[in-house]
Structure 1
Amino acid sequence: MASCLLFRLTPGDDLFLGMEQFIARNNIRSAAIITCVGSLSKAMIRFADQQDGMSRHWKDRFKLYPW
Structure 2
Amino acid sequence: MSDQQLLDIAEQLEAKFKVALLTHHITQKEMASMLGTGPQQVNRAIKGDMSPMSRSIRDRMKRLLDIE
Q: Which has the larger radius of gyration?
A: 1
Structure with higher RCO (Cα < 8 A, 6+ apart) = 2
TM-score normalised to the size of structure 1? 0.28
TM-score normalised to the size of structure 2? 0.28
Q: Per residue, is there more helix in 1 or in 2?
A: 2
